[in-house]
Amino acid sequence: MGRRRRRRRVDPADATRALPEAIAALSQTLPAGPSPETFRRAKFDRPEAAPALWRLLFRVLSPQLADGASASFSPEAQVRSVKLALRTQGYPRRALAQLPDDGSQGGRELLLALAWLLARGPLPERLLTQNRVQLGDEMPVCECEALASPGPPAPSVEADGCVDIRHLQWLMGKLRFRWRNLMASQQEQCALLGKIHSYTRGCHSDRSLGHLSVTETELLRDPEGGRQLLRRLERENARLQAALEWRRRELVFWRWMDTVLGACPPEASQPTFLPRIPTPGTGALEPLVRELQALQGELREAVEARRVAWEAGVGGRGPEWSAARTALREAVGQDLAALRQACERGGSCSLAQPHGPHRLVRTEAGAPGGPGLRAPEVIEALRSQEARLEVVLRQLQGQCRQELARLVGAPPGPVWILPPGR
């Protein structure tokens, strides 16, 4: 436990304590963090430091595994998994890939790898967020989690072979059915939540919440489960506290890492041939290219039609015409700028817009309530999103209809009678 001390003057005793304290905080906030002594040994590439660091990197790089699950991976499997994960993320040093698979060596290189991961992003915070204890009944207000899913794995070679189109129709029907079930289950869950929230109103010590959540009610029903939840919560609190400590002290760690890097011999700059790792993302490149080309084509067509209509409407090329055109240019420029901004990685999107899971809180209708999103606003936003997406879907379907009509050709071909109810 570190003592907080305001350093007006540089006290050498403080300086020597600062590093171990920083590393201790780091170690406590990460899952399976080794002791500061292990870190020190790793700097000098001592072999005894390696296994602990392999384990740490494995936990850090596969956070989706539950606490006990990593034990089911053999040390070799863990080493290979770490190597693959780091390569996938673009780890720049070759030395890591050349470490033996039995996990007996490589303390210093692993230390560098850990520092590299820490430098690239808020790793402790991200790990804590992914595995956090949910105390409330949460609902995401956006779909970014679902949209970020990687998509189907590259279809394997031994797959079905040729398939009848009726199988596709059947799969589509099955999908529709599943969505309907999902909707029904969701409605039931909301009704139950509503009941639980209103039956426990006034019970929560936190006035802004007012009522209990399912998790909280459950812990009262099941005391043993409640004790486990409390332990998880306390563990998370300790890790959160350690993360805050780490953020306060990390500068001394980075200075130290410079020395670690300096202690490494420089790598020879000959390109080594490494086996290709299957990149999961490349399967999505082809459809993306097609999509972009299709968009470009549609835009051109639409623009052409618009331009013709506009020029006909304006009539003549007087000063009105150039004024109107300038105004149009400006509007388009603004639109494009907004589009660019919206596309920027983690740009205005995640700040300006409600994002992520929110805890549901039931209030009395008409009560002003405290801070937080209001359901009617979210409903409104979702409705307009729904409307826009429906427009896109109809347009795509319309394109298909046109294309098919074209392919079928003019009469004397068969007559198509569209299904009723359009």
Partner 1 sequence: MDTTVTLLAGSSRRLVAELRDALDSCAERQRQLERSLRVSRRLLRAWEPAETLAPEPTPGPETNEEAPSAACIPSPQDLKELELLTQALEKAVRVRKGISNAGEGNKAPSLKSGSIATSPATRASAPPSTSHRAGSRASETKPPRGIRQTRVPTKDLPEHRLLSVGDQACMGQGAGATKPKSGLRNEQIVLSAASQAPEAFTLKDKGILLQLPEAFRKAASRNSRLWAQLSSTQTSDSVDAATTAKTQFLQKMQTTSGWPGSRLSATEVEAEVRHLQKACLLLRLRMGEELTAVVEQQLGPWPEGRFPRASLPCGGGADPIWSPQLLLYSSTQELQTLAALRLRVAMLHQQIHLEKVLMAELLPLVSKQEPLGPPWLALCRAVHSLLCEGGQRFLTILREDKPAD
Could you give the CA distance from residue 399 to residue 146 in angstroms, rounded to a whole number? 27
Number of Cβ within a 10 Å radius of residue 115:
17
Nearest to 133 by CA among 214, 229, 60: 229
Q: Check if the beta carbon of residue 211 is closer than 8 Å to that of residue 202.
A: yes
Measured at the CA of 409, the angle between CA 405 and CA 411, to 5 degrees, comes to 115
Question: Which range touches partner 1 (CB under 8 A), out of 2-10, 73-81, 239-247, 308-316?
Answer: 239-247
Give the C-alpha distances (Å, rounded to integers) separating 236 from 26, 31, 133, 358, 392. Answer: 14, 11, 8, 19, 44
Q: Check if the beta carbon of residue 252 is closer than 8 Å to that of residue 134.
A: no
| CB closer to partner 1, 279 vs 326 | 279
Which one among 171, 308, 309, 328 touches partner 1, defined by CB under 8 A?
A: 171
- Residue 19 touches partner 1, criterion: CB under 8 A: no
Q: Which of residues 184-223 bind partner 1 (CB under 8 A)?
A: 185-196, 199-206, 208-209, 212, 214, 216-221, 223
Could you give the CA distance from residue 246 to residue 242 in angstroms, rounded to a whole number? 6
Which one among 176, 300, 307, 317 touches partner 1, defined by CB under 8 A?
A: 176
Could you give the CA distance from residue 43 to residue 64 in angstroms, rounded to a whole number? 29
- Residue 172 touches partner 1, criterion: CB under 8 A: yes
Give the C-alpha distances (Å, rounded to integers) separating 255 from 155, 262, 266. Answer: 47, 11, 19
- Residue 15 touches partner 1, criterion: CB under 8 A: no
Residue carrying structure tokens 């403080």: 14
| CB closer to partner 1, 317 vs 388 | 388
- Residue 307 touches partner 1, criterion: CB under 8 A: no
- Residue 338 touches partner 1, criterion: CB under 8 A: yes
What is the per-residue binding string for partner 1 in 258-287, x denoting contact by CB under 8 A? Answer: x--x--x-xxxxxxx----x-xxxx-xx-x
| CB closer to partner 1, 317 vs 374 | 374
- Residue 325 touches partner 1, criterion: CB under 8 A: no
Total residues in contact with partner 1, by rule CB under 8 A: 212
Which one among 44, 179, 310, 328 touches partner 1, defined by CB under 8 A?
A: 179
| CB closer to partner 1, 314 vs 373 | 373
Which one among 12, 68, 153, 315 touches partner 1, defined by CB under 8 A?
A: 153
Could you give the CA distance from residue 137 to residue 210 in angstroms, rounded to a whole number? 13
* φ/ψ (deg, to 5) at 85: -60, -40
| CB closer to partner 1, 1 vs 407 | 407
Q: Which of residues 46-75 bind partner 1 (CB under 8 A)?
A: none
Q: Which residues are within 8 A (CB) of 27 and not within 5 positions of it... i.e. 6 or more apart?
A: 33, 34, 35, 36, 39, 242
Task: Classify residue 362 by burial, with Cβ atoms within 10 Å: 0-12, 13-18, 19+.
Answer: middle
| CB closer to partner 1, 72 vs 273 | 273
Q: Which of residues 112-141 bind partner 1 (CB under 8 A)?
A: 112, 115-116, 118-122, 125-126, 128-130, 132-133, 135, 139-141
- Residue 228 touches partner 1, criterion: CB under 8 A: no
Which one among 68, 155, 318, 319 touches partner 1, defined by CB under 8 A?
A: 155
* φ/ψ (deg, to 5) at 153: -65, 155
Could you give the CA distance from residue 388 to residue 391 in angstroms, rounded to a whole number? 5
- Residue 374 touches partner 1, criterion: CB under 8 A: yes
Which one among 143, 304, 311, 320 touches partner 1, defined by CB under 8 A?
A: 143
| CB closer to partner 1, 139 vs 314 | 139
Q: Which of residues 82-101 bind partner 1 (CB under 8 A)?
A: 87-94
| CB closer to partner 1, 105 vs 350 | 350
Q: Which residues are within 8 A (CB) of 166 and not within 5 positions of it... i.e. 6 or more apart?
A: none
Which one among 12, 313, 315, 412 touches partner 1, defined by CB under 8 A?
A: 412
